[in-house]
Structure 1
Amino acid sequence: MSDVTTADYADDPQRLRRDLEAVLLVVDQPVAPYELARAFGVGVDTVTDTLRELSREYTAQDRGFDLREVAEGWRFYTRPECAAIVERFLRDGHEVRLTQAALETLAVVAYRQPVSRGRVSAVRGVNCDGVMRTLVLRGLIEEAGHDTESGAHLYRTTGYFLERLGLRGLDELPDLAPFLPDDIEGLDDTGEQTTT
């Protein structure tokens, strides 16, 4: 794979458009124009102008997705007009097995609810924002208010979650004790070793 230079993009603006699309398809949070500019070796204005042009084109073409500038960055989203069909597909129309990451995240929410995204990420040790959004879209978890101290959104499992697992209530969740290490003294509530 050859290195891409600024001159390549100057000579072929279509290539910059293509490469920006490729990168934005794999991100799970908005990316700042300066980060994209640095990665592509072009100016921030060039990146911003290209992203705005792509966004206008997608809107004019009435695509099912949209390129939006949010939170000081850019990211692809499905169009609001498509929300009902996307939700139906994710919930009912397409039975898809959950990934390992989704199962782990769902377990953290189930056993710690109500819990914030940040807390779930801390327990798992990785950013769980994208997985949490997927679980919300699939109807397995839902918002449950806000944390009074931090103001963070809290999440809990849904009735659909119980239905899918064949449970009448959360009290029927299996006990975790048999799966924990014998020596759990000295572990904090995230499972990390604490010093005494």
Structure 2
Amino acid sequence: MSEETAELPAGLRPVAELDLKPALEAVLMVVDEPATVEHLSKLLERPRQTITKALRALADEYTAQGRGFELRFVAGGWRFYTRAAYAPAVERLVLEGQTARLTQAALETLAVVAYRQPVSRSRVSVVRGVNCDGVMRTLLQRGLVEEAGAEPETGAILYRTTNYFLERMGLRGLDELPELAPFLPEAEAIEAETQEGVPSFDPDAPDAPDADDADD
């Protein structure tokens, strides 16, 4: 008997001896973010190729069985998601609960960042036609956008979407965003309208009255 086996409580098997598919299901039920194949391989002590094959088999099984959830590869890892066909049931739960939803202003601002990233705060404001300081602060606090360096010409802080954004949107990468970018102004078209003398705003400062306050 190995030292690892001897230390386990009675009735439990070493990780490497567990049935792979149920073990994957158990782990994926509790992850807070998509689990990479590399991480799962280390946790379950199996080759990456074996893990990948098992994940794809599970995903196919759930689809064939018409389960209310699905296993999807998003943002570089695997995670359970509710199936789109059952969205009305989930939506009712969310609407009846206390979950805070993004306002229309926040969704519009997030869309501009997603399609024009990396982009400065003032350029987002120009595209939307209103000041968006308060909304950008909300998106930062929610972890949907993050700072991405400074613009060389002006020193203005640039923003981009986060991995958490991909996760929440169910996307593998930004290349899966719908074809919406052609409907947004090109960077050159708003260059003259964006004059930023201040690199950024304080994310912790109180919201100043602006056009989006009514929405937030």
If the length of structure 1 is used for normalisation, what is the TM-score?
Answer: 0.49
Instruction: Name which one, 1 or 2, has greater alpha-carbon Rg.
Output: 2
If the length of structure 2 is used for normalisation, what is the TM-score?
Answer: 0.45
